Amino acid sequence: MKRILGILGSPRRGGNSETLARKVLDGAEGTEWVTDVIRLQDLEINGCTDCRRCWSGGSPCVIEDDMSKVYEKVREADLLVFASPLYWYSWSSQIKPIWDRFLPFVHKEARWDLKDKRALLVAAAGDDKPEAFEGMLFSFRTSCRLLGMEMVKPLLAHGVHGKGEAEKGHWLRLAEELGRSL
């Protein structure tokens, strides 16, 4: 069985990006996938300090916080689903430290890496224009390329602002279809 890890980067439990990501995971379950989630709002994860001591303590990062739980689940996963609301045309503050703390995987001393993993972006925005995601998409695409991950076509739900708006219209159906197609 293959493993999908949903990395939920919304501060709101049951928020739009989390709802869509969970629907993607629901669609994938029962096929060849086993799913798991990490809800970042429930963890204490500090930002990268750029100390360049990656791997020196036996694990990817020397900072002692809940990122060690994330690393463990990331290592086991074949596909990572990054779910985030669009804040100021980029990542939420809950998920941004995850990207920063992936620095060890491009370090020359890396003991394991993210190459050959697949990555999927699920994002929601109150903005009505799909181009609002361009900054986040640039960050995602470029980071995936740097880390050697294959990018899956993202689900970018625009026009969903208030809690529960992702459940209206076609977004949930698209999320479930995406999950089944993985």
Q: What is the pLDDT of residues 108-148, one digit of tens each?
A: 999 999 999 999 999 999 999 999 999 999 999 999 999 99
Per-residue pLDDT for 33 more than 80? yes
pTM for the full predicted model:
0.96
Structure tokens, 89: 């045309």
pLDDT at 165 over 90: no
Hey, is 2 helix, strand or coil? strand
Mean pLDDT throughout 160-172?
86
pLDDT in tens, 139-150: 999 999 999 999
Q: Which residues contact 12 (CB under 8 A, 6 or more apart)?
A: 18, 85, 163
Q: What mean pLDDT do residues 73-97 have?
A: 97
Q: What is the topology classification, in CATH, of domain 2-181?
A: Rossmann fold (3.40.50)
Distance CA 137, CA 152 (A): 12
Is 50's pLDDT higher than 90? yes
